[in-house]
């Protein structure tokens, strides 16, 4: 297990923290899977499903051999993350998306409420094993909450950099509650990344941004879990929202592992969905540009996707090339409608997550995905991560489509009145 530069191929030892090569290229972890007995591992992963209190009860560390084989067990900081539900779509979700078979992988069910936990447990554990005591990131919210939670749980400290606008107050409050030092700055996510690139080292901080290669390793477990739940048979499509593109990168890397080890025979196609207001990666792919052109003032209501200069675009492009993948973009109104349908189905998610379903619907309508194909949408964050978005949709009717709105019903406490409202609700449902 080493770091390797994705641009020039230089290898660096994993025992010294780095995420960037001297040439400026990003690093990734490479494993040597030669001599790995895939059948034995498969059995081991199944046996570990009955673990309760060891690190292997985690839906990430269950796959330690493929993620961080050299991580000392006693330095693992885990909250049994992963182990999230994989739910078949209800009739209305199927109809909304327009495909035959559809599942939702609810990464929203992680301990801090987002898929960032899958990667963060590995990054923080790695940092601890190197002796770091202070952890940092810049974030639109969920990365901070996740980092603050693990740092607190592991008895370490964290300092996070959060833009002072267009982020969800729920996430900031969660981060404060876990005891992180929260630095609120005037600028964008991209400015925060640049600051840490320059200064984190001098400040003695271990960087847990999306470019941290160990986070990518941990996030691979999302696709391992999906594959294991479906008895190592993946659907035709995996659809996910794209912001900094760490998740798309991780998903692709996990798929590559599974294929290389012979766990799966065929790669699903990966679809990355961006919000129209922050879609530099989709622009690049749609116009077959050589390089990503950063977007200066990204804005989308799906705050987790508010990123104009995603650092991992090269890695993500490689994933699309390898899987016959595609990109698309959807409007905020489409995102919020898709979210309302997911919420109403009883699964629930935050706005950014719903971009996956809105994007799948669009791909089916454009004839890129076929109605007879199967898909998994990855739900990245929890319904309660952005309560303002719920208020705007259901109470303030701020978004155009009233179709999925569920407004408050004002009534007297008289039996006839209540009965009238119940009949109206029943009629609306049928
Ligand atoms: C971080 C995040 C994303 C975007 O994932 P990337 O890896 O940055 O592309 C999407 N949804 C939610 C809820 C997130 O927290
Ligand atoms: Zn390099």
Ligand in closest contact with the CA of 106? 1
CB 171 within 8 A of CB 207: no
> What pLDDT, on the 0 to 100 scale, is given for residue 175?
97
353 CB less than 6 Å from ligand 1? yes
Binding site membership of 240 for ligand 1 (Cβ less than 6 Å): no
Pairwise CA distance, residues 326 & 269, whole Å:
8
pTM over 0.85: yes
Please state, rounded to an integer, the average pLDDT across all residues of the chain: 95
**Ligand positioned closest to the Cα atom of 20:** 2
Q: Report the relative pairing of strands 157-163 and 181-185 from DSSP bridges.
A: parallel
What is the residue with the minimal CA distance to atom 5 of ligand 1? 243
Strands 206-207 and 134-138: parallel
Which tens digits make up the pLDDT trace of 210-245?
889 999 999 999 999 999 999 999 999 999 999 999
Atom of ligand 1 nearest to the CA of 245: 9
pLDDT (mean) for 133-156: 96
Instruction: Among the bound ligands, name the one nearest to the CA of residue 9.
Output: 2
- Tens of pLDDT, residues 79-89: 999 999 999 99
- The ligand with the least distance to the CA atom of 113 is 1
Handedness of CA 252, 93, 244, 275 (dihedral sign): positive
Residue 430 has pLDDT above 80, yes or no: no
In this structure, which residues have their CB less than 5 angstroms from ion ligand 2? 5, 7-8, 10, 21, 23, 25
**Residue 259: pLDDT over 90:** yes
Ligand 1 atom nearest to CA at 247: 7
Say yes or no: CB of residue 118 within 6 Å of ligand 1: no
Eight-state DSSP code of residue 396 = S
Best residue among 172, 209, 380 to mutate for probing ligand 1, ranked by most atoms within 8 Å of CB: 380
pLDDT recorded at residue 381? 98
What six digits make up the tokens of 231? 């008895």
| Token code pair at residue 416 | 């006839």
Q: Give the model's pLDDT for residue 278.
A: 97
CA of 258 to the centre of ligand 1 (A): 23
* The length of the chain, given as a count of residues: 430
Q: What is the pLDDT of residue 10?
A: 94
Predicted confidence band of residue 165 (pLDDT cuts 50, 70, 90) = confident
CATH class of 86-113+224-393: alpha beta
Of all atoms in ligand 1, which is nearest to the CA of residue 316? 9
Give the C-alpha separation, 63 to 253, whole Å.
Answer: 14
Residue with the smallest CA separation from ligand 1 atom 13 is 381
């Amino acid at each position: 297990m080493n770091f390797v530069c994705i641009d020039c191929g230089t290898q660096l030892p994993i025992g010294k923290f780095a995420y960037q090569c001297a040439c400026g290229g990003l690093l990734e972890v490479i494993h040597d899977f030669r001599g790995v007995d895939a059948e034995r591992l498969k059995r081991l992963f199944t046996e570990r499903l009955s673990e309760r209190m060891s690190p292997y009860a985690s839906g990430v560390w269950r796959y330690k051999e493929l993620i961080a084989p050299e991580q000392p067990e006693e330095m693992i900081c885990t909250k049994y993350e992963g182990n999230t539900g994989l739910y078949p779509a209800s009739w209305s979700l199927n109809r909304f998306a327009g495909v035959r078979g559809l599942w939702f992988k609810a990464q929203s069910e992680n301990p801090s409420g987002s898929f960032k936990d899958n990667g963060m447990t590995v990054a923080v554990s790695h940092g601890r094993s190197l002796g770091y005591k202070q952890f940092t990131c810049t974030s639109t919210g969920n990365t901070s909450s996740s980092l603050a939670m693990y740092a607190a749980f592991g008895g370490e400290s964290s300092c996070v950099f959060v833009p002072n606008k267009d982020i969800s107050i729920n996430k900031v409050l969660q981060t404060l509650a876990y005891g992180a030092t929260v630095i609120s700055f005037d600028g964008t996510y991209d400015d925060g990344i640049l600051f840490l690139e320059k200064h984190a080292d001098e400040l003695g901080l271990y960087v847990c941004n999306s470019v941290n290669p160990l986070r990518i390793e941990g996030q691979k477990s999302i696709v391992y879990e999906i594959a294991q739940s479906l008895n190592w048979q993946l659907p035709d499509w995996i659809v996910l929202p794209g912001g900094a593109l760490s998740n798309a990168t991780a998903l692709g890397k996990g798929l590559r592992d599974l294929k290389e080890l012979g766990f799966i025979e065929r790669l699903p196609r990966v679809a990355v969905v961006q919000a129209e207001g922050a879609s530099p990666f989709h622009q690049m792919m749609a116009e077959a540009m050589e390089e990503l052109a950063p977007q200066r003032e990204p804005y989308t209501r799906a705050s987790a996707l508010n990123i104009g200069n995603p650092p991992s675009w090269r890695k993500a492009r490689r994933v699309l090339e390898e899987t016959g993948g595609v990109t698309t973009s959807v409007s905020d109104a489409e995102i919020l409608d898709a979210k309302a349908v997911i919420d109403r189905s009883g699964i629930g998610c935050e706005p950014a997550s719903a971009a996956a379903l809105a994007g799948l619907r669009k791909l089916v309508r454009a004839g890129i995905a076929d109605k007879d194909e199967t898909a998994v949408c990855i739900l990245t964050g929890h319904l309660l991560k952005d309560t303002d978005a719920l208020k705007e949709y259901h109470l303030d009717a701020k978004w155009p489509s009233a179709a999925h709105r569920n407004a408050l019903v004002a009534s007297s406490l008289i039996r006839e009145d209540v009965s009238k409202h119940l009949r109206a609700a029943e009629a609306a449902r049928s």
